[in-house]
Chains A and B, each alone.
Chain A
């Protein structure tokens, strides 16, 4: 049963009352504690495949790293007797074939993993639940008072509504992917390459980019405590104007997974553990183990989850809202003009170097991030789903 409890906020409030409490960054001596375990991150839904299972090693807390677990044999089994062997396409990434197994509502699925060191891991069969449909995804302007900034934090909070479910108790898990279009600060006028400066033919080449990101927050909810099995106005993540995400056009894909109680309690516990920490009125963190176990040594911790879920998706687009934006933009400084003289001293590894000009045509050599949107992990090609208005 999920229950939102916000007592920790009271604590924080009382602390503030007493004027002297403080939260500071702190890293305790963990004594090199590190558990190396198999991590499973797999999914099968009622959407058409291929389905991906990612296997990795857990990493130490001090130096978090993604460590693929390669050379395993992975298969997804269905309770109708069918089996699909997955193929490792990238290190630690195991994929089903496009025309292979397709998830069907009402059937049960499980995963079997054989590792190179001859251990067998398995999940129990889980039912693929009929997805509850997403009715709407929308947003509202939100202004949050801020202590650290000299202005209020402005932005948009996204919300969702579901369609009424058939059953009274439904367990949900939401994953979101945001994609946004953004622009560099300057157009490219010249390029310096091979010790040679030339006019750049197409100034807006690296001017506009798209960037897609997983929203690294967990959202879970269940309808058991609601009077009707329908969720209305469920708050999702908040995007502030401190960053350029909302500056031109933003798209959000919400994937709503209708899951079993077991899947839900795993993710809901993870969410609670991550969001509700710090106060004395919170529950203690604890070990949350996934649904995959070592067949021979059930005590061995295995992390992560093999998710079997009915999915319903919705994507929305929105243009720049009429809010105050505070994201950082480049401004040409004297140093940027002076640095043009140093171009000859640059090494080949830095080439090509893009240059811009100011209003009067003076050449400037600003930080490349101001000219080349790829420097901010953008893609210059719009994704397939992108719709401009």
Chain B
């Protein structure tokens, strides 16, 4: 129940404010030291530097005695009677300037009894806690320390200072009880409910209802509070803020009690008198977490009440202690610990969500799509950790404003710059350094946030006693800059730029570089205090270059680039509190340069191949409505209509009627001019979701989604590789269509301390793109001859149990799933696996993830992950035969076998720097061990015929514990 009382002392000037804080910290520190000394080393009391002590204590006692009343003397009225301990504490902290310090888990649940109206806090606590063998101690600053058994020493022994210097008149004479109360009331604004008048009588004449709208912001940095709830007590109705922190609420005129709250903020209560339409901006104080509070939560924003399902949200702060490889804080990798998210192997690029291939996901950095999210081929994610605020994963019920991907949306939110003050943070891990700066351009209005990360050297390569590696290079970097500019209260401008870069060279052989770039400019406009208009322009580019000299006679260089140009408009209407309607459109112009395959040098005999370019436009118009039929039952529906056109210039091959698409069956070649429509597709997308709340702790939800996808990745390697290219659907390759049905039960129990959910889904994808065995996709002028389209069938059930709060917190989830692909056709060359269904590469039926965090204190915490999954399906040899003395391996049908099961335990210790409120820098150390047991999990198992013998090999990526130490720092103290 640790709250920042200083923010409540608003009748003081800044200097006093700082001074109090400063003294308070020093004072607290001395008491803590004193207690330590008294408890453990009574005989080692040493006289500190006298001059400083005199000065400090002189100031301390003079000032603090004036500022603070003694908490023990606060009168407690009968109105506090019969409150639960927690309510009692909360109310006291809210109404009086008192802070309680205790370990929540150590206090049993009980009800507070108040015997008479004239009790003081000390008496009340004595009466109630005494029998439970719990002690309360008070200091001079309004702090109450609740401890089991022995009371905490809150002041020095009376002769402490005498022993030092009898002449210093620092100790203030005890004040009378009445004086104290008087002083307390005088110096502390008593808790009063603020009454706010919205609108004017004149404007409201003749109307029964009025709309109040505005922003909810965090008081400390002026940033919008997303998802804050506004609840009208009398009407039992309310709303929540959107991504800009904006809300709009239509109510009947008159007096209402408005409660504004959010997950990380203090609740605010207003008496609101609504006269006509008007504006109300709310500033929420950040909740300061005490020992028992949130450390790791993957919040499913109100498990029970929201219509959302198949939805996960992680905030960067909440996952910072989860152990990761090489200490790189990687929020996206943490997604792999969530139910329904898999990858083909450790460190592999690509995420498989609910049985879908990796190219059915899209990653948005705010509005910028990122087409390759891997650093170092997938070991790390290409997002500057310091720049990420949170990310949301939509696995099933994807909002209608998103289209074009069948499986999931990874919506990554960049941090918005602090609008109050300059701040900085950074980190140093074994391989990278990162730095983030943020601050206001104009206070409370406009801010910037710039973050960069880079490998600071590839020194680590030099440590390896291998010629090849010592002479190789690996480099990666990324950067994000986010600008938020308030033009006026109704118009906001948001600008984000994003960049990531990778450069890998191997001695004499191969060099790769690939990069993502992106920029978005968004304008958020509020109309009539009620509706929102968002207009966004997005540019994104993904490009790679490869130089390969491995085979000198065919040394080549190859390039590729994809340009994504998008405009989006979204209009949010709120006709009344029961409906919220979003309408809008987005239109993407894709410009792909399929690249050139050129000889690298004069010695190379490679023929230059120009693969040409591709153009396409994907447009979607949508309407999305959320309708709260009753407080218990609500439905949401979305409709999106997609129109896609594949545009010239292009040369298209025609194949013989009814013949498989193979080069020898080409009968005609048709040329299309610039911007000529070669082929167009259109189709409706549907989103339907319903929620019914049975009890406040139990709800059920169901959803149906239909989506279309017009771009896919040319990839037939097991994991995504940086030379995989995106390709547009064309006249030969049809768009993919996906449908997903989901059903879920959501429950909170153990007084809301545990959240449980079970979600089942069935997914079907038509026209899934697969590749012929052994297809070469890098230099292929006629891709369609290597592509086959089939069906994907996936289903699964995900169980999640979460303890979001408390000293011990974390989650456990288990997923049972299946994902099968069927590619069949009329001739053998149009089939994969002879026309039989086979499990997808990432099909892992059983998956169990356990994430645990235990906080010993605010400074010390430990975390651990336990991960289990069935091994991925593989193709193994089933026979050996000989050809001219050479042994040949004959393989099974596709994915008939499985790798050994995967199992891993990680462990990390996080040590925060001291908790001083006033300090220039705060540092923290993270020590982590990835794969603690050193289990050699199989990444792949393969067979080779070597010198006439078949040898089997197992490759493990992290075959031993990976130990790393990371240092993170920031400006300011622990809290900010």
Query: Is B605 touching A58 in the complex (CB atoms < 8 A)?
Result: no
Q: Which residue of B lies closest to A33 (CB)?
A: B878
Q: Which of A10, A37, A231, A270 touches B510 (beta carbons < 8 Å)?
A: A10
**A35 touching B717 by the CB < 8 A rule?**
no
A–B Cβ pairs within 8 angstroms, 8 of them? A6-B510, A22-B936, A31-B897, A225-B779, A226-B607, A231-B605, A285-B891, A286-B891
CB contacts (< 8 Å) of A22 on chain B: these are 936, 955-956, 959-960
Interface segment, one of A297-305, A332-340, A353-361: A297-305
How many A-B pairs with Cβ below 8 Å? 273
Contact across chains for A303 and B881 when beta carbons are under 8 A apart: yes
With A24-B953, A24-B954, A218-B886 already in contact, 5 other A-B pairs whose C-beta atoms are closer than 8 Å: A15-B955, A30-B878, A145-B468, A281-B718, A304-B888
Contact among A16, A20, A21, A284 with B841 in the assembled complex (CB-CB below 8 Å)? A284
Tell me which residues from 920 to 976 in chain B have a Cβ below 8 Å from any Cβ of chain A: 936, 938-945, 947-962
Across-interface contacts of B952 in A (CB, < 8 A):
25-28
Contact of A21 among B553, B603, B774, B959 (CB under 8 A): B959
> Per-position contact with B for A28-40: 1 when CB-CB < 8 Å, else 0?
1011011111010
Interface check A202, CB cutoff 8 A: no
Which of A97-105, A192-200, A271-279, A316-324 binds B?
A271-279
A337–B456 Cα gap in the complex (Å)?
63
Interface stretch of the complex, out of B361-369, B458-466, B568-576, B735-743: B458-466
Q: Are A26 and B953 neighbours in the complex by a CB distance under 8 Å?
A: yes
Cα of A238 to Cα of B466 in the assembled complex, Å = 20
- B335: min CB distance to chain A, Å: 19
Complex-state Cα separation, A299 to B603, whole angstroms? 46
B467 CB within 8 Å of chain A: yes
State A1–B783 Cα separation when bound (angstroms).
12
Q: How far is the CA of A1 from the CA of B780 in the complex (A)?
A: 8
Contact pattern, A 256-295, Cβ under 8 Å of B = 1, otherwise 0: 0000000001000110111001111111111110000000
Tell me whether A59 and B959 are in contact (CB under 8 A): no
Q: Quick one: which of B881, B888, B940 contacts A280, CB cutoff 8 A?
A: B940
Question: What is the distance, in angstroms, from A244's C-beta to the closest C-beta of chain B?
Answer: 15
With the chains together, A31 CA to B877 CA distance in Å? 11
Chain B residue at smallest Cβ distance from A27: B952
Closest Cβ of chain A to B464, distance in Å, is 6
B-chain residues with CB within 8 Å of residue A301 when the two chains form the complex: 890
Contact, CB under 8 Å: A305 / B717 = no
Contacts of B884 on A, CB cut-off 8 Å?
A: 41, 43, 175, 214
A3 to B780, CA, bound (A): 10
B-side interface residues toward A, CB under 8 Å?
A: 325-326, 344-345, 347-348, 376-377, 379, 460-461, 464-469, 472, 474, 504, 506, 509-510, 512, 548, 550-554, 597, 599, 603, 605-609, 716-719, 721-723, 773-776, 778-780, 834, 841, 874-897, 899-900, 936, 938-945, 947-962
- Distance to closest chain B CB from A286 (angstroms): 4
Among A26, A37, A217, the most chain B Cβ lie within 10 Å of the Cβ of: A26
User: CB-CB contacts of A215-258 with B at 8 A, as 1s and 0s?
Assistant: 01110000001111011111100000000000000000000000
Contact B554 A61 (CB under 8 A): no
Residue of A nearest to B875 (CB): A285
Q: In the assembly, what is the distance between CA of A301 and CA of B828, in Å?
A: 13
- Interface contact A231-B881, CB-CB below 8 Å: no
A5 touches B878 (CB 8 A): no
Q: Determine the distance from Cα of A70 to Cα of B469 in the docked complex, in whole angstroms.
A: 52
Give the shortest distance, in Å, between B295 (CB) and chain A (any CB): 28
Distance between B376 CB and nearest chain A CB, rounded to angstroms: 6
CA distance A226 to B955 in the complex (A): 35
Q: Would B512 and A280 count as touching, CB distance under 8 A? A: no
Min CB distance, A313 to chain B, in Å? 15
CB pair A145 B773 closer than 8 Å:
no
Contacts of A41 in B (CB 8 A): 882-884
Cβ–Cβ < 8 Å partners of B609 in chain A: 225
Q: Give the CA-CA distance A6 to B325 in the complex, in Å.
A: 25
| Chain B residue nearest in CB terms to A59 | B880
Q: Is residue A369 within 8 Å, beta carbon to beta carbon, of the partner chain?
A: no
Q: Does A64 contact B (CB under 8 A)?
A: yes
Rank and list the top 5 A-B pairs by shortest CB-CB distance, nearest first: A26-B954, A145-B467, A280-B719, A277-B942, A58-B879
List the B residue with the shortest CB-CB distance to A24.
B954
* Chain A interface size range: 35 or more
The reply to whether the CB of A166 lies closer than 8 angstroms to some CB of chain B is no
Contact between chains at A3 and B881 (CB < 8 Å): no
In angstroms, Cα B548 to Cα A225, docked, is 15
Residue A4 lies at the interface, judged by CB distance under 8 Å to chain B: yes
Least CB separation from B899: chain A residue: A28
Nearest CB in chain B: distance from A143 CB, A: 10
Q: Quick check: B880 and A5 within 8 Å, CB to CB?
A: no
How many whole Å from A256's CB to the nearest CB in chain B? 14
Residue A19 at the B interface, CB < 8 A?
A: yes
Determine whether A347 belongs to the interface, using a CB cutoff of 8 Å to chain B. Answer: no
In the assembly, what is the distance between CA of A302 and CA of B951, in Å? 23
**B897:A28 contact, CB within 8 angstroms:** yes
Interface check A23, CB cutoff 8 A: yes
Residue A149 is within 8 A (CB to CB) of chain B in the complex: no
Q: What residue in chain A is nearest B945 (Cβ atoms)?
A: A274
Chain B residues, CB < 8 A from A27: 952
Interface centre among A11, A30, A285, A303 (most CB of B within 10 A): A285
Q: Is A20 within 8 A of B962, CB to CB? A: yes
Report the bound CA distance from A64 to B466 in whole Å: 35
Contact, CB under 8 Å: B959 / A16: no
Within the complex, what minimum Cβ distance (angstroms) separates B906 from chain A? 14
- Cα A17 to Cα B951 with chains together (Å): 25
- Out of A10, A35, A43, A299, name the residue touching B879 (CB < 8 Å): A35
Q: Would A303 and B717 be within 8 Å (CB), given that A28-B952, A225-B607 are in contact? A: no
CA A268 – CA B956 in complex, angstroms? 28
Scoring B719, B897, B947, B955 by chain A CB atoms within 10 A of each residue's CB, the highest score goes to B955
Residues in chain B near residue A234, CB distance under 8 A? 553
* Across-interface contacts of A17 in B (CB, < 8 A): 460-461, 464, 469, 474
Whether B890 lies near A58 (C-beta < 8 A) is yes
Cα-based distance from A214 to B962 in the complex (angstroms): 44
Residues of A within 8 A of B606 (CB): 225-227
Q: How far is the CA of A280 from the CA of B469 in the complex (A)?
A: 19
Q: Which of chain A's residues has its CB closest to B461's CB?
A: A17
A100 to B939, CA, bound (A): 54
- List chain B residues, Cβ under 8 A from A43: 884
Q: Are B326 and A18 in contact (CB under 8 A)?
A: yes
A9 CB-CB contact with B under 8 Å: yes
Return the contact of A19 from the options B345, B464, B951 (Cβ within 8 A): B464
* Chain B residue, CB-CB nearest to A15: B957
Whether the pair A9, B509 counts as a contact (CB closer than 8 A) is yes
Question: Is A7 part of the binding interface, using a Cβ–Cβ cutoff of 8 Å?
Answer: yes
A230 to B895, CA, bound (A): 39
Interface: A326 (CB within 8 A)? no
Given contacts A9-B506, A284-B718, contact A4 B889 (CB under 8 A): no
* Bound CA span A214–B945, Å: 14
Q: Which residues of B contact A230 (CB under 8 A)?
A: 605
The answer on a CB contact under 8 Å between A66 and B940 is no
Partner of A147, one of B465, B548, B718, B874: B465
Cα A31 to Cα B878 with chains together (Å)? 10
Whether A45 sits at the interface, judged by CB under 8 Å, is no
Task: Report whether B878 and A280 are in contact in the complex, using a CB–CB cutoff of 8 Å.
Answer: no
Report yes or no: B880 in contact with A283, Cβ–Cβ below 8 A.
no
Least CB distance from A307 to B in Å reads 9
B944 and A283 contacting across the interface, CB-CB below 8 Å: no
Q: In whole Å, how far is A25's beta carbon from the nearest beta carbon of chain B?
A: 6
Measured CB to CB, the closest approach of chain B to A223, in angstroms, equals: 9
- Chain A residues in 8 Å Cβ range of B460: 17
A305 contact set on B, CB distance < 8 A: 883
Q: Is the CB of A24 within 8 A of B936?
A: yes
Asked if residues A304 and B891 are in contact (CB atoms below 8 Å), the reply is no
With A13-B468, A18-B326 in contact, do A280 and B943 touch (Cβ < 8 Å)?
no
B890 engages A35 (CB within 8 Å)? yes
Interface string of A99-138 (1 = CB under 8 A from B): 0000000000000000000000000000000000000000
A226 near B554 with CB under 8 A, answer yes
